[in-house]
């Protein structure tokens, strides 16, 4: 990957951290992926400059992000442990802000996530946050989901019935079903994600499998997200609809773009 792409990731991550991780932030969600590495790099710099809350707690979304937090010397806690921390205040009620990467982001800041197979924990943490912020390089910025990301919707499923779930997803998404208007392809394909440098399928941090469901462009992300979750054995869907408040994109020319949902921009006009 070019150094310009890596620099654009770094720029977006640093800008988002500088805006949102203020000394008043006590609980911070840390996402997963290559761009989040730069966010943690910036957190370490701010920590060394005494610009973070001294009692900051970071909530990881994957094995990777927990390692990043630990290596940076930051304090980590699992999501469910927040309620027993800070007993004088009755425990933390929510996460102040979560910063996470994305595989693709549309004009309404709906996102595809799960390229790293961490989307279950990522969505749990995002849902428990007061603000959810996405960071990425400009290649991930699109008008419609599926316009640039061609690896399918990541769907975490139970290993007990992955073949059955795969067939049900394909049948549910076929042109004969009422869902055909929700996405581009008339004959979607669900593929079991295979591991790299390991024989067999990818196994998530939660012990599950991942199906990548190829549907082409997604015209109604909230409806597709809910449609997939109706199938028993589907644990989580890598479509994050209506969750992000902001998305920061780094460009290869060194500039940074910050976007809010298109519908919110219209309200400001």
Catalytic residue (choose from 122, 156, 225, 246): 122
CA distance 28 to 134: 14
Is 88 an active-site residue? no
CA distance 181 to 30: 35
CB 114 within 8 A of CB 156: yes
Task: Give the position of tokens 């940074």.
Answer: 256
Q: Would you call 44 exposed, middle or buried from its count of C-beta atoms within 10 A (0-12, 13-18, 19+)?
A: middle
CA distance 196 to 207: 17
Supply angle C-alpha 101, 107, 113, rounded to 5. Answer: 30
Q: How many CB atoms lie within 10 A of CB 153?
A: 30
CA distance 152 to 185: 11
CA atoms within 13 A on the CB side of 258: 13
Active site positions, annotated: 122
């Amino acid at each position: 990957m070019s150094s310009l792409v890596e620099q654009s990731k770094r720029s977006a991550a640093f800008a988002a951290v500088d805006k949102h991780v203020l000394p008043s932030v006590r609980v911070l969600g840390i996402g997963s992926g290559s761009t989040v590495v730069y966010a943690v790099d910036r957190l370490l710099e701010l920590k060394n400059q005494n610009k973070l809350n001294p009692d900051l707690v970071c909530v990881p979304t994957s094995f990777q992000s927990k390692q990043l937090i630990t290596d940076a010397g930051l304090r980590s806690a699992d999501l469910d442990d927040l309620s027993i921390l800070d007993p004088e205040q009755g425990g933390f009620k929510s996460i102040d802000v979560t910063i996470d990467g994305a595989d693709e982001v549309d004009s309404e800041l709906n996102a595809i996530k799960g390229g790293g197979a961490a989307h279950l924990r990522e969505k749990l943490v995002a849902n428990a946050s007061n603000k959810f912020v996405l960071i990425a390089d400009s290649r991930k910025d699109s008008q419609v989901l599926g316009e640039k990301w061609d690896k399918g919707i990541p769907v975490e499923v139970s290993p007990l019935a992955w073949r059955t779930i795969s067939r049900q997803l394909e049948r549910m998404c076929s042109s004969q079903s009422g869902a055909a208007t929700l996405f581009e392809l008339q004959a979607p394909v669900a593929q079991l994600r295979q591991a790299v440098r390991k024989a067999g399928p990818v196994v998530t941090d939660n012990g599950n499998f991942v199906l990548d469901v190829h549907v082409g462009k997604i015209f109604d992300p909230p409806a597709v997200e809910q449609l997939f979750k109706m199938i028993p054995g589907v644990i989580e869907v890598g479509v994050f609809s209506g969750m992000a408040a902001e998305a920061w994109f780094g460009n290869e020319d060194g500039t940074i773009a910050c976007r809010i949902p298109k519908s919110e921009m219209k309200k400001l006009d």
